């Protein structure tokens, strides 16, 4: 089909799009009325479903009251949502810089880290994705950055956590590069689209120790893991580590409005008391984004949300393990409501084939990545695993 617009991350000729008319709760509804379970929360942002009243009502109210505000404006929603966000992060200090995407959150984190420390180098993992803009690509390590000219001369790689369980390889990298040149290290606490890689016990603490010893800032990219995706409000909390900066986007607004944020610690925030913050964007702290965030925070603060999430996590983990055993998976990794299952050399059905079975999933070669909406029900989640098995059978896997 020839369209007057592009599709992302694909060759355009012959691309078959996903026909969709609307979303309802944890499902897409196609024009022919067929329901498709959203097994990856779209691109990991519809954590709170497709028709969440708390988010929709918050945005609608804000649209009626003040749909746009100057980046320099102060208004109660801005203060209230920011304070509550600090609470969810578990911090009483520091400040939030607002953006409109994950990549922009990473861009601004890198800019601030370099400006405040006066150092040029950022340490990052090879098996990582931090966004498609030039700066975010320069620290990303997967195929999505290989194609373009970017600024990798300011990036040095650290070893993968599974090859470096005590983070001694990070220390070696620091010594090799020179601590006096390193501003920060950026990591996804659990790498998302690169296969839900969960660092071994102790790695994160080891990383924090190296950062403290050499005066290096620790940036956690929680764009995908944040907002209860990985068993805690933010994935870093599950490792008992305090970062210096946290990048957020995706589920921060449930995906209803493009929105993002960077939290910086109080010491870094103080730097800008006397220095000009050279950074900003037209849609900085957009009131509709803030309204969506306040809807998300209201949703998270409902006791029934966390009770249901707890049950979902148990069902999800059990079903993933069952599937892995039944289908002789070569690797399985699950944390909270995020999982990857690998099947060695065997080729999975395509995502189009899964759509025929009523499921929207993320496949990458022989790896399946699942991230169901956090407001699903255990019954619907179980049914989705039955559909998945059916899909594997029908497509001769
Ligand atoms: C961990 C992580 N960081 C950053 C990004 C970039 O976010 P965006 O696509 O909103 O720019 C993504 C997107 O998938 C991501 O998974």
Spatial separation of the C-alpha atoms in residues 371 and 57, rounded to whole Å: 25
pLDDT band at 296 (very low <50, low <70, confident <90, very high): very high
**Residue-level pLDDT at 1:** 62
Residues 130 and 159 in one domain: yes
Question: How many angstroms is it from 97 CA to the middle of ligand 1?
Answer: 17
Answer yes or no: is the C-beta of 106 below 6 A from any ligand 1 atom: yes
pLDDT value at 10 more than 80: yes
Instruction: Give the C-alpha separation, 61 to 65, whole Å.
Output: 6
Ligand 1 atom closest to residue 191's alpha carbon, by position in its atom list: 1
- Asked if residue 196 has its Cβ within 6 Å of ligand 1, the reply is no
Q: What is the mean pLDDT of residues 232-245?
A: 97
Q: Is residue 12 part of a domain?
A: no
pLDDT at 147: 82
CATH number at residue 79: 3.40.640.10
Per-residue pLDDT tens digits for 123-165? 999 999 999 999 999 999 998 988 887 777 899 999 999 999 9
Kindly report, residue by residue over 350-391, the tens digit of the pLDDT: 999 999 999 999 998 899 999 999 999 999 999 999 999 999
User: Is the Cβ–Cβ distance between 94 and 155 less than 8 Å?
Assistant: no
Same domain, 58 and 118: yes
Distance 64 CA to ligand 1 centre (A): 30
- Is residue 388 assigned to a domain? yes
Task: Report the pLDDT averaged over residues 327-356.
Answer: 95
**133 Cα to the center of ligand 1, angstroms:** 10
Q: pLDDT band for position 64 (50/70/90)? A: very high
The rounded percent of the chain whose pLDDT value lies above 70 is: 100
CB 113 within 8 A of CB 83: no
CATH code at position 347: 3.90.1150.10
Pocket test for ligand 1, best of 103, 256, 371 (most atoms within 8 A of CB): 103
Instruction: Report whether pLDDT(315) > 90.
Output: yes
Given a contact cutoff of 8 angstroms between Cβ atoms, the answer to whether 121 and 177 are in contact is yes
378 and 367 share a domain? yes
Predicted local distance difference test score (pLDDT) of residue 153: 84
Q: Among 224, 246, 252, 259, say which to mutate for ligand 1: greatest number of ligand atoms within 8 Å of CB.
A: 224
Report whether residue 224 contacts ligand 1, using a CB cutoff of 6 Å: yes
Could you tell me the pLDDT band of residue 110, with boundaries at 50, 70 and 90? very high
> Among 223, 245, 251, which residue has the most ligand 1 atoms within 8 Å of its CB, making it the best to mutate?
223
* The two three-digit tokens of residue 33, written as one number: 């009325």
Q: Does the residue 13 lie in any domain? A: no
State in Å: Cα 156 to ligand 1 middle.
Answer: 20
Pick the last residue of a domain from 301, 330, 359.
301
Q: What is the mean pLDDT of residues 270-278?
A: 97
**Distance between Cα 191 and ligand 1 center (Å):** 11
Q: Is residue 7 a part of any domain in this protein? A: no
Which domain covers residue 88, as residue numbers?
A: 53-301
Q: Are residues 184 and 251 in the same domain?
A: yes
Q: Is the pTM of this model over 0.95?
A: yes
Q: Are 99 and 253 in contact (CB under 8 A)?
A: no
Q: Are 369 and 229 in the same domain?
A: no
Say if residue 101 is in the same domain as residue 38.
no
159, two tokens? 């070893």
Domain co-membership, 355 together with 267: no
Which residues fall within 8 angstroms of residue 213, CB to CB, at 6 or more apart? 171
Residue 132 CA: which ligand 1 atom is closest? 11
- Looking at the fold, whether 101 and 161 belong to one and the same domain comes out as yes
Mean pLDDT is lowest, of 90-99, 149-158, 326-335, 379-388, for 149-158
Q: What is the mean pLDDT of residues 315-331?
A: 97
Mean pLDDT, range 15-30, rounded to an integer: 96
| pLDDT recorded at residue 364 | 87
pLDDT-derived band at 108, boundaries 50, 70, 90: very high
Ligand 1 atom closest to residue 249's alpha carbon, by position in its atom list: 10
Give domain status of residue 84, yes or no.
yes
Kindly state if the Cβ of 362 falls inside 6 Å of ligand 1: no
Kindly state whether residue 61 falls inside one of the protein's structural domains: yes
Distance CA 101, CA 131 (A): 9
d(CA 310, CA 76): 33
Residues 37, 87: one domain? no
Same domain? 313 vs 369: yes
Final residue belonging to a domain, choices 256, 286, 301: 301
Ligand 1 binding pocket mutation candidate from 131, 136, 234 (most atoms within 8 A of CB): 131
**Confidence (pLDDT) at 261:** 98
Would residue 327 count as lying in a domain? Answer: yes
Residue 203 is assigned to a structural domain of this protein: yes
Tell me how far apart the 2 most distant CA atoms of the chain are, in Å: 64
For residues 243 and 221, what is the distance between their CA atoms, to the nearest angstrom?
A: 10
Boundary residue ending a domain (286, 301, 316): 301
d(CA 61, CA 91): 29
Say yes or no: CB of residue 188 within 6 Å of ligand 1.
yes
CA-closest residue to ligand 1 atom 8? 102
Structure tokens, 275: 């220095």
260 plus 309 within the same structural domain: no
The tokens for 364 are 């990458």
Pair 232, 371 in one domain: no
Which pLDDT value is given to residue 146?
Answer: 83
Number of domains, the chain? 2
pLDDT confidence of residue 2: 80
């Amino acid at each position: 089909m020839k369209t007057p617009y592009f599709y992302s991350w694909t060759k355009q000729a012959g691309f078959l799009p996903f026909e969709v008319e609307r979303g309802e709760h944890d499902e897409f509804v196609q024009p022919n009325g067929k329901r498709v379970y959203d097994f990856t929360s779209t691109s990991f942002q519809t954590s709170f479903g497709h028709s969440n009243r708390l988010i929709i009502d918050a945005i609608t109210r804000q649209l009626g009251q003040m749909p746009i505000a100057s980046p320099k404006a102060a208004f109660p929603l801005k203060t209230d949502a920011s304070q509550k966000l600090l609470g969810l992060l578990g911090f009483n200090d520091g400040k939030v810089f607002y953006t409109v995407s994950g990549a922009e959150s990473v861009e601004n984190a890198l800019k601030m880290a370099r400006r405040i420390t006066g150092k040029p180098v950022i340490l990052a993992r090879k098996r990582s994705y931090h966004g498609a803009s030039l700066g975010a690509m320069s620290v990303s390590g997967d195929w999505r950055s290989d194609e373009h000219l970017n600024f990798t001369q300011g990036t040095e790689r650290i070893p993968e956590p599974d090859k470096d369980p005590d983070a001694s390889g990070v220390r070696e990298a620091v010594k090799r590069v020179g601590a006096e040149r390193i501003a920060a290290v950026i990591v996804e606490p659990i790498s998302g689209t690169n296969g839900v890689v969960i660092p071994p016990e102790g790695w994160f603490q080891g990383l924090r120790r190296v950062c403290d010893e050499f005066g290096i800032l620790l940036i956690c990219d929680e764009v995908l893991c944040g907002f209860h995706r990985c068993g805690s409000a933010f994935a870093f909390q599950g490792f008992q580590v305090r970062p210096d900066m946290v990048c957020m986007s995706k589920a921060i607004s449930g995906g209803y409005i493009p929105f993002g944020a960077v939290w910086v610690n109080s010491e870094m925030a103080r730097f800008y008391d006397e220095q000009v913050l050279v950074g900003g964007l037209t849609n900085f702290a957009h009131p509709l984004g803030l309204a969506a965030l306040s809807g998300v925070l209201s949703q998270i603060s409902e006791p029934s949300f966390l009770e249901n999430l707890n049950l979902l996590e148990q069902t999800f983990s059990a079903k993933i393990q069952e599937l892995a055993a039944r289908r002789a998976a070569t690797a399985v990794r699950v944390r909270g409501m995020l999982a990857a299952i690998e099947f060695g050399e065997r080729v999975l059905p395509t995502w189009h084939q899964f759509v025929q079975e009523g499921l929207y999933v993320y496949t990458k070669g022989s790896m399946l990545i699942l991230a169901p909406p956090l407001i699903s029900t255990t019954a619907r989640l179980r049914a989705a695993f039955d559909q998945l098995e059916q899909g594997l059978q029908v497509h001769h896997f």
